[in-house]
Amino acid sequence: MRLVTFTAGGQERCGRLEGERVAVTAARSMDELLAAPGAPEVGSLPLSGVTLLAPLPRPRTIRDFYAFEAHVKNARARRGLAMIPEWYHAPVFYFSNPNAVYGPGAGVPMPRTTGMLDFELEVAAVIGREGRDIPLEEANRHIAGYMIMNDWSARDVQREEMKVGLGPAKGKDFATSFGPWLVTPDELADRREGFRHRLDMVARVNGREVSRGNLADIHFHFGELIARASRDCTLYRGEIIGSGTVGTGCLLETEAAPWLQPGDVVELEVERLGLLANRIV
């Protein structure tokens, strides 16, 4: 299934995307729909007649990991730094801002304090079932679905923060985009390879391709991320687990284009998960 949150007639609703139509459900929020995926249908609308929001406009939390080895190596090499041996010991993450979420097509405000605005091409998993100290072999059963994630980054602000040895903080918490829909795991079963999925990932700025990678290249897979996040901590339905940036999945790594400016359109496309586009405003 492809699950969506949308507005129509001034109301926020949730539904299941079926071709070019949205089956409107009785669920009042995505959290309710995740709790009862078979919620009864109460109407149908054309996709062209609704405005899609982020699948979870108000997530409980956002944990964004650092799980692609190529991204870490590339970003550090740009600064003349070697790889961190400790990175291989366990996946690490930071908490982002669940109150600064943007959906597909939404304008993303450029922070006033940055001259180095960047995107990050990622995939996010949404927790669908509560768990604590989740064993690795059971972790995937706690995933309700996957969606595209753009972890917007103010690189100059982030750089100064990280010198202190804490963060990222203000370099990240102004915006995160998700969408266009949440794809349930059964839709991706034929692309699964062990604990990973083989899905092409592409980023474009103003229509020009600047990044290409694959979700199967992730070093720490989502099962490992969930097991780590749930250690001594309960994960609840509606929490988001980000993969971190795929290799070459940002301007910081490649300088494939100038830093983003107002008016630029960033498109992130992941096979089977759709296309997430936002304009900088």
Identified catalytic residue from 71, 142, 197, 221: 71
The answer to whether the peptide bond before residue 258 is cis (omega within 30 degrees of 0) is: no
CA terminus-to-terminus distance, the chain: 32
71 catalytic? Reply is yes
d(CA 59, CA 214): 26
User: What does residue 110 show for φ and ψ, rounded to 5 degrees?
Assistant: -80, 125
- 5 exposure class (CB count in 10 Å sphere: 0-12, 13-18, 19+): buried
Whether residue 218 contacts residue 65, with contact meaning beta carbons closer than 8 Å, is answered with no
Question: How many Å separate Cα 23 from the centre of its chain?
Answer: 24
d(CA 157, CA 182): 31
d(CA 52, CA 124): 18
Whether residue 17 contacts residue 3, with contact meaning beta carbons closer than 8 Å, is answered with yes
User: What does residue 270 show for φ and ψ, rounded to 5 degrees?
Assistant: -125, 130
What count of Cα atoms within 13 Å lies in the side-chain half-sphere of residue 201?
27
Q: Nearest-CA neighbor of 157 among 170, 167, 173, 166?
A: 170
Q: Which residues are catalytic?
A: 71
